[in-house]
Structure 1
Amino acid sequence: MSVLEQASAARVAAIDLAGATRAEKDRALLLMADRLVERSDDIVAANQVDIRNGREGGLSEAMIDRLTLTTERVAAMADGLRQLAALPDPIGDVVRGSTLANGLELRQVRVPFGVVGMIYEGRPNVTADAAGICLKSGNAALLRGSGSAFSSNAAIVSVLRKAVADAGLPANAIQLLDATTRDSVKELMRARGLVDVLIPRGGASLIKTVVEQSTVPVIETGVGNCHVYVDAAADLEKALAVTVNSKTQRYSTCNTAESLLVHTEIADSFLPLVLEEFEVKGVTVHGDARVAGYSDAVVQATEEDWGTEYLSPDISVGIVDSLDDALDHIRRFGTGHTEAIVSESTTATRRFVAGVDAAAVMVNASTRFTDGGEFGFGAEIGISTQKLHARGPMGLPELTSTKYVVTGNGHTR
């Protein structure tokens, strides 16, 4: 089928799915989870094809690791679906309601978007996550993963579609688009009227392409040039813990810190500590001239470094003369994802929170907490860095729209 034919089938499935009860959707999610575990050997075997092709095609070991599925990772995907089943169903929730002066009852209720398109790179576990989140929120999913994971994604979607059908819901609520050419991406981005919203999840170039070229409404996600600012009034122990965790807990995520700014008044005390810790952990520091004075291991930072989302054991480090200088730097180079301040000064933290324009602001806490699971949402389909509709980690409620239901008793205007 062509992408437009698949989108048309998804539109039909979305109508049926919109009327499904929570019990019906949860039953499907639990069956999807069980079937993933039952068919894990087949899924891992399909994944081996992708890994072999990836190595032959020159994929880095970091990318191979993101691509790799094991029995344990498949089980974790299944656990994610079970956790979704345990979450409240947002559909039908009353956002607000009132009785008007004329006696009309007004309710604003949550409803599904309808058809959600997802364009993503790398990790095949996203396939199960996205399918499950869309189904729980009443949306049909059109999934366009990367060509490097096509065999894995095809195996996963085959299992999920069969489980959904066996649970009594339409199999076309979950569909995988062809990833062997770029044509499917172009067609999906032009399927306005059939696809209600498009969510790109991946690198900066992918997101930029989708945002600029799509005629389908887009929720922009996740490029993260995240900063940690260590203020003059910072507690050194807290600052070291927050900075190191923000950078080294995991390198390949959008909420990993990519830049460190240190107030000049605390630089002599703090920089030797953090530079030593980075050296121990194998992190390459790209620093300005003043930072380079603290260690011979510092690489001279270029203008490009300040705006780079490394997704690797690299970090840019600069010394700033004031909180205002830190804010100016972040406004220039930040991506609106997550920014952090470490300070014992209430005045400084309030100014920082008010002054940065980001989806999440951390005060004396690691940037790695910007995550749907860590926020207690139970699941997320991505982290929105835009301002309309949704911002920050997008859980089930963020995959809904609303409609007004007005009930009268023969009222006329």
Structure 2
Amino acid sequence: MQHMQRTERGKNMIRKNIIHTVAGVIAAALMVAAPIFSLVTFAGPSDDPVIQAPHVGPGEDEEEYAQALADWAQAIAQNAGSAVNRSVPAAVLAEGNYYDLPNAKPMAAAIDMYSYDMMVHDLNNMKQTYPSLVKLQSIGTSLDGRTIYDVIIGNQNASKKILIQAGIHGREYIVSTVAMQQIDALLNGAANGGTFNGMPVSEMLQKVCFHFVPMANPDGVSISQFGEAGVKNAKFREIMQNGFAMDTATGRAGGADYATYLTRWKGNAAGVDVNHNFDANWGEIIDAGYGRAVGWKGANPLSEPESKALANLSYSNKFDATLSYHSTGSILYWDTANNRSAQTSYEIASLVHDISGYSIMGSVGHGGYKDWMQKISTVPSLTVEMGTSVCPVNFAEYPEIWQRTKAIPGIIAEYVLKH
């Protein structure tokens, strides 16, 4: 990881601003969410601490990030206690489940603009710390040369397998943070006697193997976070510039300036919406037909390395459930046209609704990964839209997002073990 040159003032900023008081962050989250949600009661200062990091560019300073993790661990220790989503019926979730265990050595911090380089740093730490539980596998390379990781957690020979993929849309990078913290919570739970509804996590991970793809579109994430500096190849900067010019000329840019336009980048480096690039009602998608911030469907289904990576992973594994993490809207999409797994997809949607409070909605679906899985297989599949604000989701929402979604891996594991 390259070290960026910074002024001493910039280096001091990360330490001065790294930790907000937990109560203050949660209060901000509640203010954002108040008009829509009223179900969740937080435990105050004992809720999950959050770091607000300065917006640093590609190749973050490794020393500073290590300090961020250390500060986060200290904040957890200072605010120890069980953070309970009190809107959840006791019959669904027991108190004191693994995700509420103290974590003396966190592997992934809740950081605004959690980047690809941060993720790779954290994945390597996880592999070194939990070699028997973590396997890192490359399932492809993005257009701009970034490895797309499949993070395999637990017994690879387990009879049940679950896929959780996140970050397929660049500007929705907050869900990559959720996925990484879910991995971290599972590993911490397995190592420290954690349970889920009475089942030891160590036992769960012998019976269920999780495949996490925490950042399915790393180039898009990098563009949304860092603009033109997020890509290495000049041809992709030309696509970004041309997309902005054409969208501005046609009014599709909504009056945004170039910098703001890039923060809204949804597609991959070529401006293709990877989640419109799967062969599920693909031909019915009508879009602008060129690379742009919100993307286009591509020249043909699976034309992009990112969509091919997920498709190949799905073909090579017999998954018992798949979940796609997106933002925003606090919605659960379970249906599509020609859905071969309608009943079971609705069942897992109902479970996630019970623990999150998110609304269940049907959809026809065009070109999405979930739609494609439901078309080609009987695997129950679900899209989870997290947050309420316009993408990129305001990071002040993260504490509530985490409270509503932290139990998803456990509840889905419990489901597949019963079916």
CA radius of gyration, larger in: 1
**TM-score of the superposed pair, with normalisation by structure 2:** 0.31
Which of the pair is proportionally richer in strand? 1
